[in-house]
Amino acid sequence: MKLKQPAFLPTNRQEMRALGWEALDILLVTGDAYVDHPSFGAALLGRLLVARGLRTGIVAQPRWTTPEDVSRMGRPRLFAGVTAGALDSMLAHYTAFRKKRHDDAYTPGGRAGARPNRAVIVYSNLVRQAFPGLLVVLGGIEASLRRITHYDFWSDSLRRSILLDAKADLLVWGMGEIPLVSVARALLQAESTGLTPDLTGIPGTAWMGRPEQVPEGRALIELPSHESLLENPRLLMQATLASEHHVQRGDAWAVQAVGGRTLVLAPPPPPPNSRQLDEVFALPFSRRAHPGYTEAIPAEEMMRWSINTHRGCGGGCSFCSLALHQGRRVASRSRISILREVQSLTRMTGWTGSISDVGGPSANMWGARCTLDPARCTRTSCLFPAVCPGFQVDQSAGLELLREVARQDGVRHVRVASGLRHDLALQAPRALKALIMEFTGGQLKVAPEHISENVLRGMRKPSLEVFERFLEEFRRHSEAAGKEQYVIPYLISAFPGCTEQDMRELADWLRARGWTPRQVQCFIPTPGTVATAMYFTGLDPEGNPIHVARSDAERLRQHGLLSPERGRKPVRCEGSARPPRSRRGGEAKPSGALAEGRKPDRAPRTGRPGRRPG
């Protein structure tokens, strides 16, 4: 059945009936406000499902004390999809020192507290109360990174798969378009034949099943059981590396025993090709918040004039969730698709002529591809310890794309706010020169994270020497352009393996250059990452003991070593870091990129609704 795309997906029964829909096929429940923009997961998936002929509605930020909000459009015919939204709800609520945050960029008015702690579990329970027996499918970043046994910083404990705690039927991990459409098709086919639906084996999904559901002859990764992890927490590193390998291989299945049952994880789906991504971004998004909201939503404002060109990141940084969620294989939109989106922006009400960002996880990875067989690859990063020869990207093509965007009628300014992977940028000197001279709007985000070699090694980041070479190129080209420009470096304190002496060395290095960073992220162990396993086990990936700043007192000391001295004004110098003051008074920000697709890296920071670059 072909459906007409509505101006907005329905959020209540009145809007359903205005569309002529008596009932929904699929209900999506999300912890974010409903903004009809491709950077918001529920909106993107909802539009795609409607394009497949499935009547889909959205309940955004429902009250969690009653199932009334969840049930207001009636029982959906096929299933309910549940997501915490673009951020893990615990990360959205608490700082590195477990203090409550005061704002939430995905909520009207930017207010905190519109979603519950552990939102996926709470929303799943609401759906089961409202619609007993309805199939519940989990998705989004919170579910994806908690798909196996994981360390939870906020309870300081190992928790089993969120699939069990939410008592859901299926979990979609990673980006959800391909798996969710496959789930809907399987249910429709079962409905037409009268057979019991078989949802096992859909790529990118996990369920509680049996080991024999893994097809014979397929590669199998056996994760340490939940019980063995409780008995021997050091095994968390082994489990995390195995989970990382499961994502990278692309053809392997994985299983984990828990409580006498078996968690089965199908292989990841192949990355979408350009045609598939183009189809998604061509859907008729209004790119605005639902008209029922009376207050502005900060994330909408930051994302409105930005263009997402690709997803996935070859960096594989140990603290970052991007490779675990979006994958290390970069999927890029076509040039034509991107230019059409630019043209659509110029026709929008409020258009000012400026595009705040054209990019993705790192702006200089558009069009990147791997020429190697992922089943044979043993690397944990395409860029560390050096750029892999199999990771190929024509950065000059990305530069020409930016120039073509800038030439479109109605476009006056184009900026790259998503930042660069600086080691990759140095491989294309001409493209880097043009990017700095033509498309840097005074500030450029780069993520060195630290300068200590042992800390950088644990992060899977390039050496200080590489960063200093980049800074020299930035200074030289900015001078040649006659522009006063600044690098904004992302820095992390209290990273596993980092000592106070390491932080002093970083502070001395910054001081020698007249840099006074206003914002430094104190490391937060987020579920599923290698860095979190390092924090919990006190081991590096090779099994060697490392120093870990565990107490809040030590974490604060490390963090404080990079805080500006009281009364000291920041020094502006070429290539220096001078980011704007935080609205939250310089508190620790989340480390890594615990986001679905794209997120504001603070609330708000700059115009780029993206992640830490590289």
> Would you place residue 590 in the very low, low, confident or very high pLDDT band (cuts 50, 70, 90)?
very low
What does the pLDDT read at residue 64?
Answer: 95
> Would you place residue 614 in the very low, low, confident or very high pLDDT band (cuts 50, 70, 90)?
low
603: Cα within 13 Å, side-chain hemisphere: 29
What does the pLDDT read at residue 31?
Answer: 98
What does the pLDDT read at residue 225?
Answer: 98
Which region holds residue 585: left if phi is over 0, alpha if psi is between -120 and 50, else beta? left
For residue 508, the cross-strand partners are none
On the 0-12 / 13-18 / 19+ scale of CB atoms within 10 A, 19 is: middle
Contacts 24+ apart (CB under 8 A), 452-458: 452/498, 452/502, 452/505, 452/506, 454/497, 454/502, 455/495, 455/497, 455/498, 455/502, 457/385, 458/318, 458/495, 458/496, 458/497, 458/498, 458/531, 458/534, 458/540, 458/546
CB atoms within 10 A of CB 529: 28
CA neighbor of 40 nearest in space, from 104, 114, 106: 106
Q: Which residue has the higher pLDDT, 490 or 563?
A: 490
> Would you place residue 585 in the very low, low, confident or very high pLDDT band (cuts 50, 70, 90)?
very low
Identify the helix (H) or strand (E) that includes residue 57: strand 56-60
Q: For residues 11 and 24, what is the distance between their CA atoms, to the nearest angstrom?
A: 11
What does the pLDDT read at residue 582?
Answer: 32
Q: For residues 494 and 455, what is the distance between their CA atoms, to the nearest angstrom?
A: 10
317: Cα within 13 Å, side-chain hemisphere: 28
CA neighbor of 568 nearest in space, from 515, 519, 522, 521: 515
Distances (CA, A) of 518 to 99, 504, 560, 565, 585: 19, 17, 11, 11, 9
Lowest mean pLDDT among 21-25, 354-358, 365-369, 573-577: 573-577
For residue 492, the cross-strand partners are 521
Residues 6+ apart with CB under 8 A from 8: 15, 34, 36, 286, 290, 291
CA neighbor of 271 nearest in space, from 295, 252, 247: 247
Tens digit of each residue's pLDDT (9 = 90 or more) over 381-402: 999 999 999 999 999 999 999 9
Contact at 8 Å (CB) between 532 and 526? yes
**pLDDT exceeds cutoff 90 at 117:** yes
Contact at 8 Å (CB) between 49 and 26? yes
**pLDDT exceeds cutoff 60 at 567:** no
Q: Are strands 150-152 and 157-159 parallel, antiparallel or unpaired?
A: antiparallel
Tell me the average pLDDT across 414-437: 92
What does the pLDDT read at residue 564?
Answer: 55
CA neighbor of 186 nearest in space, from 74, 54, 283, 86: 54
- DSSP SS3 for 493: strand
Query: pTM score, two decimals?
Result: 0.90
Tens digit of each residue's pLDDT (9 = 90 or more) over 309-367: 999 999 999 999 888 888 889 999 999 999 999 999 999 999 999 999 999 888 899 99
63: Cα within 13 Å, side-chain hemisphere: 7
What does the pLDDT read at residue 376?
Answer: 85
Tell me the average pLDDT across 58-69: 97
For residue 111, the cross-strand partners are 103
Contact at 8 Å (CB) between 599 and 592? no
C-alpha dihedral sign at 155, 518, 608, 364:
negative
Tens digit of each residue's pLDDT (9 = 90 or more) over 255-299: 999 999 999 999 999 889 999 999 999 999 999 999 999 999 999
The mean of the pLDDT values for the chain is 90
3-state secondary structure 139-169: CHHHHHHCCCCEEECCCCEEECCHHHHCCCC
Work out the end-to-end distance of the chain between its first and last CA atoms, rounded to an integer number of angstroms: 42
Which residue stretches of 451-546 are H helix? 453-459, 464-480, 500-512, 530-537
Tell me the average pLDDT across 164-172: 98
Q: For residues 288 and 303, what is the distance between their CA atoms, to the nearest angstrom?
A: 10
Q: Which residue has the higher pLDDT, 18 or 589?
A: 18
Max CA separation in the chain (angstroms): 74
What does the pLDDT read at residue 322?
Answer: 86
Q: For residues 389 and 372, what is the distance between their CA atoms, to the nearest angstrom?
A: 9
What does the pLDDT read at residue 519?
Answer: 67
Tens digit of each residue's pLDDT (9 = 90 or more) over 212-237: 999 998 999 999 999 999 999 999 99
- Give how far the C-alpha of residue 576 lies from the chain's centroid of Cα atoms, to the nearest Å: 28
Q: Are strands 56-60 and 26-30 parallel, antiparallel or unpaired?
A: parallel
Contact at 8 Å (CB) between 578 and 572? yes
Tell me, what amino acid is at 187? L
DSSP string for residues in 339-401: HHHHHHHHTSTT--SEE-EEESSSGGGTT-EE-S-TTT---S-SSSSS--TTEE--HHHHHHH
- Give how far the C-alpha of residue 598 lies from the chain's centroid of Cα atoms, to the nearest Å: 6
What does the pLDDT read at residue 324?
Answer: 85
> Would you place residue 445 in the very low, low, confident or very high pLDDT band (cuts 50, 70, 90)?
confident
C-alpha dihedral sign at 522, 525, 530, 536:
positive
**pLDDT exceeds cutoff 80 at 576:** no
Percent of the chain with pLDDT over 90: 82
> Would you place residue 1 in the very low, low, confident or very high pLDDT band (cuts 50, 70, 90)?
confident
Q: Are strands 357-359 and 306-308 parallel, antiparallel or unpaired?
A: parallel
Contact at 8 Å (CB) between 62 and 27? no
DSSP string for residues in 292-330: T--S--HHHHHHTTEEE-EE--S---TT-SHHHHT-SS-
Contact at 8 Å (CB) between 306 and 300? no
The CA-CA-CA angle for residues 283, 288, 289, to 5°, reads 120
What does the pLDDT read at residue 381?
Answer: 94
